[in-house]
Amino acid sequence: MAGDLFVVVAPSGAGKTSLVAALLAAEKGLRLSVSFTTRAPREGEVQGREYNFVAREAFEAMVAAGDFLEHANVYGNYYGTSRRWIEDELAGEHDVLLEIDWQGAAQVRRLFPGMVGIFILPPSLAELQRRLEARGKDSAEVIARRMASAREEISHVLEFEYIIVNEHFDEAVADLKAVVRAARLSRERRASRLSRLLEEFR
């Protein structure tokens, strides 16, 4: 692939969405993959911006057709990443960012072993629970379920190339930008993009 594929994973409440938004604002050449989902839009969400909202039957037809790079059932709703969109963007030398869970990341890595995996950690499980409670969106039962899911997610942290602890937001954003810039300066990336210039030095 000509572009870089960045995969960001984090437990719910770790601040992934805010960090990714800050990264996209700072790195103009990075494109966010918009997932498909069968869940209903929440207030303020726009079709094609937060998600591509589709009916369950349509999603299942896309699964059968092999349209997804990865897909999963999360709390009773399906989520999936468009295979064609990712492949077209990377072939066009665009850098792509995916926000998915660890299982989706494992599926993607099998197809794109050169992906750059980034795991966002909360400073502690206690702080994660405090953040979930402070959002005021979920019942105690849902928060307990999210905490159990977080423990499972975090057990896979060492499967990722980069680990960022989101204790201080600005520092975490700087770390995330550093990962992207380092990947863009890697030997493999520079060699593919600067092949003609390198030929002049031979």
pTM of the model: 0.85
- Apex CA 156: angle with CA 31 and CA 6, to 5°? 15
- Residue 133 CA to residue 139 CA, distance in Å, equals 9
Is 140 in a helix, a strand, or coil? helix
The pLDDT profile of the chain, 202 residues, written as one tens digit per residue, is 578 999 999 998 899 999 999 999 999 889 999 999 999 998 889 998 889 999 999 999 999 999 999 998 888 899 999 999 999 999 888 899 999 989 999 999 998 998 999 999 999 999 999 999 998 778 889 899 889 999 999 999 999 999 999 999 999 999 999 999 998 887 666 666 666 666 767 6
Q: For residue 66, how far is the Cα from the chain centroid?
A: 20
Task: Dump pLDDT digits (tens) for 66-102.
Answer: 999 999 888 889 999 999 999 999 988 889 999 998 9
Which pLDDT score, from 0 to 100, does residue 154 have? 94
**Exposed/middle/buried for residue 131 (C-beta within 10 Å: 0-12, 13-18, 19+):** middle
Tell me what pLDDT residue 178 has. Answer: 96
Q: The tokens of 118 are what? A: 């980034």
In the chain, what are the domains? 5-200 (3.40.50.300)
CA distances from 75 to 37, 78, 163 (A): 12, 8, 26
Which residue has 């037809």 as its token pair?
61
Q: Which residues contact residue 16 at a Cβ distance below 8 angstroms, ignoring those fewer than 6 apart?
A: 8, 9, 10, 99, 120
Q: What's the pLDDT at 6?
A: 96
